[in-house]
Amino acid sequence: MSFVEYGDTIKDGDTAIVFLGHESMFPVKVQHGTVTQTKYGVIRHSMDLIGKKYGSKVTCSKGGWVFILHPTPELWTMNLPHRTQILYSTDISIITMMLELKPGSIVCESGTGSGSLSHALIRTVAPTGHLYTVEFHQQRAEKAREEFREHGLEHLVTVTNQDVCKNGFGVSNIADAVFLDIPSPWEAIGHAKAALKAEGGRICSFSPCIEQVQRTCLAMEEYGFTEINTLEILLRVYNVRTISLQIPDLGKAAEDNSSTGLDNSNPSNQGSPGTNLQQGTVQFKSGVPLREMVGHTGYLTFATKS
């Protein structure tokens, strides 16, 4: 099993996603002889999972059923254990596009955090690219290495435990793109420039506060970066609802009046036959925005090495 290569059959040691319903799923490590408890009953890994195809409908001990899904970076983002605040697919999608990533690209990242963006970057640059990710916190770096190994990604990523603001990324003049998600990104702009290829490399910095963005932009200008641009991505979800509205009586009365020669401006003609017809209703689908939505997550600042 790998997050970048699809496997048809569930095997011992795989990471799978148990799908109970919309917004109700969780990851599970498949192990021979192990059971997993759900609200629909027990899932026995040996009998119910190993050897079955991904996407299979599995019946639990209480008679309920779940689907077993192959892991993807998007599903992992929704279900991973949070060690830090993470980036979600809304920001991840614009990051991979604006950094112009493709298979074979070399990317530097700091910090690794919970690995949400890391999995998406690896999937984008696979099978010939590579991710160099730096994490300041030792335990988070070790956990990230363990997850990449379990997910079949260790040959596509190098995890380094060091302070990127002081020691950089450990590579020079090879990266096609650099991503920064650290408290003081302006202190790492020089190291990012050193890691990028000689010309045309792209950089992105994620910061929740506009003051961080201002200092980062000044540092980018100081180091000669061009095309500096800051974006904020907001996701607005709509609910589809059935709405009933009364049909307005616009044509019948007018038609009757024109045929009989009645003048509605004359008070004596008000209340004539045909003006008090019973009105019906019509139903139609309409999109209604949610009353609450996810607001500000962070600012994305992009620039190009000149």
Residue numbers belonging to the annotated binding site: 114-117, 135, 163, 181
Taking the mean position of all CA atoms in its chain, how far away is CA 182? 19
- Residues 6 or more apart whose CB falls under 8 angstroms from that of 190 comprise 219, 223
Strand segments (E) across the chain:
15-21, 24-29, 35-38, 41-44, 57-59, 65-69, 106-110, 130-135, 157-161, 177-180, 202-207, 225-231, 238-246, 281-289, 299-305
Q: Please report, in range form, the residues annotated as the binding site for S-adenosyl-L-methionine.
A: 114-117, 135, 163, 181
Q: Are 170 and 178 in contact (CB under 8 A)?
A: no
CA dihedral (125, 120, 165, 135) in degrees, to 10, reads -110
Secondary structure of residue 233 in the 3-state scheme: coil
The answer to whether the CB of 26 falls within 8 A of the CB of 15 is no
Bridge partners, residue 109, by sequence = 133, 179
